[in-house]
Chain A
């Protein structure tokens, strides 16, 4: 089964993806479309292939079979350098935890993608500060991740993912380690910013409440799309 999303020209299109980890088949012929500005939730049980699908779509891993097309480029064929550049400029990636550098302060973590793109430290820190303000964690600018709460660290991670103005944000269980209040704060910040800036979001979650923030939901089972539909 596949998901065509009902869009004429999708921003990101994956066709018949297959990926195995050793002997385990994580994806088996999954197809997904993501439109510009769309918020798509991918749900499914543990081991259904959700994270592997995100890794393939974000160019973090190459599928064994199938294609991933973004802006006319075949991600599954691009060299690692170009993929890295895409993830730095066009995509934002948020995980459950671990994406912040523990030794850098919040403001430097958020400014890192800008530094990598050639901005000066002062420019990077200024823009990072603005994004921290937007996500309500300006007060934590000088703190390192270890000194922040889980919700604060995750909002800093969102700011880092969005600071370069990406067209797509890939979020893998972004609230998986948070309590319900912190989850709500993080999701409100993510969805609000995405709607405002027209950024598409591919959201991996097993939480129905989190999936409800999306425009559309697809459910994975045994590595393929088992159900697709508009969320309530």
Chain B
């Protein structure tokens, strides 16, 4: 306990002494924690609600227990991109942080202790974000609900304390492969054969479950069971996992193939980087691929549901606006998730540039033009992402088609071609996100960087 306290004290001292670059990391981490705490606080307040309530926000979706639990599930799913974002924040300013870790090692800290101190720094930033979210959420809650039940207060307390703990845990997870030596050398342990055992086992279990559901004839089980949101979510996760796996597994061949034929320096550099660390792209783009699968799947399912609703509009006395609102809210949540993963991608690309800045400055000093390095940076995102997004988009669209085929027993459903636009849009957005690192690249290749080893 005393060692944890001393690590915490050191983390606080390091945070207080942060320079401008470090403050960016602290700020981004705090923003991510605010989002996580905001989601968690809404869930904490909604969960204790029982039975029918008239809630003035949420377009009626929070009034009934059935729709309320759907909203809670959607909010919990949004935690995935938020945690991904927090993980990327832990990597911001890696060079500066690595120097500090090395200095800590030189001062006598063990490798695990240095990682713990870095994780606690993230925890402190998350505490600030969590406190901000709570400070806004509690007055808002008291305006909507005059006397919240004790369980709601307990949930708020758990979220406020839990988010910093979760942030520190995510940070520790992201830094698990970083080993600092007292001489200032930083090693990053890379998994030699791609994803770990947990990922492979989870994917296999998911695949078996999905195959079982898909091979079970619809007339043998209730229609509602086969198309439960959980089933669709399982299929999305499976396709996302397969897309991530294929991205990593094919990256080496893709890099080799492109590198062998490259005639332009930027293409050669990007392809060789891909070949050198083929799983890096899969790790960086995992959340993007998952959002693409869910997004294109959602577009298909939305089209199916709207067709069904319009076909049966006369049966709903209150009209179909309520259901349309629900679908639009899910769409908004997906856009929020996409914004988060794109921000994480931009942060990841910027971190990669910052890590290599001395080498990049040396390239420019030796005559490699800046535009070549800028194109190589963009191609590092563009090359591995193209086949992966195609697969993710096709997978998501297949979900929509499958859902439509199942529902067409009840009504005529058009093929959801709109879903195919999702990977195209995500691809363009990813390139834009990667392009946000170009101003940093321009600053990084300044000759001044050559002055620092």
Binding site for B on A (CB under 8 A): 21, 51, 55, 58, 60-61, 81, 84-89, 91-93, 95-96, 98-99, 101-105, 108, 112-113, 115-116, 120-121, 144, 160-161
CB distance from B413 to the nearest CB of A (A): 48
- Tell me if A103 and B276 are in contact (CB < 8 A): yes
Given contacts A21-B448, A98-B358, contact A58 B269 (CB under 8 A): no
Show 27 residue pairs from A and B whose CB-CB distance is below 8 angstroms, ordered by the A residue.
A21-B448, A55-B447, A81-B369, A84-B370, A86-B367, A87-B365, A88-B367, A88-B368, A92-B366, A93-B365, A93-B367, A95-B362, A95-B365, A95-B450, A98-B358, A99-B363, A99-B366, A101-B363, A102-B359, A103-B272, A103-B275, A105-B272, A113-B366, A113-B367, A115-B265, A116-B265, A116-B368
A residues near B362, Cβ cutoff 8 Å: 95, 98-99
CB distance from B425 to the nearest CB of A (A): 30
CB distance from A11 to the nearest CB of B (A): 18
Expressed in whole angstroms, the Cα–Cα distance for A108 and B368 within the complex equals 13
A residues near B147, Cβ cutoff 8 Å: none
Expressed in whole angstroms, the Cα–Cα distance for A87 and B370 within the complex equals 13
A residues near B263, Cβ cutoff 8 Å: 115, 120-121
- Tell me if B447 and A60 are in contact (CB < 8 A): yes
- Tell me if B365 and A115 are in contact (CB < 8 A): no
Chain A residue nearest to B264 in the complex (CB): A115
> Quick one: which of A58, A60, A81, A144 contacts B276, CB cutoff 8 A?
A144
Given contacts A21-B448, A55-B450, A98-B359, contact A112 B365 (CB under 8 A): no
Given contacts A87-B367, A102-B359, contact A21 B451 (CB under 8 A): yes
Expressed in whole angstroms, the Cα–Cα distance for A159 and B447 within the complex equals 22
> Quick one: which of A89, A105, A116 contacts B372, CB cutoff 8 A?
A116
- Tell me if A104 and B269 are in contact (CB < 8 A): yes
B residues near A61, Cβ cutoff 8 Å: 447
Chain B residue nearest to A96 in the complex (CB): B453
A residues near B275, Cβ cutoff 8 Å: 103
User: B105 interface residue, CB < 8 Å from A?
Assistant: no
CB distance from A98 to the nearest CB of B (A): 4
- Per-residue interface assignment for chain B, residues 268 to 292, with 1 indicating a CB less than 8 Å from any chain A CB and 0 otherwise: 1100110110000000000000000
- Tell me if A108 and B272 are in contact (CB < 8 A): yes
- Per-residue interface assignment for chain B, residues 329 to 360, with 1 indicating a CB less than 8 Å from any chain A CB and 0 otherwise: 00000000000000000000000000000110
User: B309 interface residue, CB < 8 Å from A?
Assistant: no
B residues near A115, Cβ cutoff 8 Å: 263-265, 268
A residues near B42, Cβ cutoff 8 Å: none
User: B210 interface residue, CB < 8 Å from A?
Assistant: no
Expressed in whole angstroms, the Cα–Cα distance for A120 and B264 within the complex equals 8
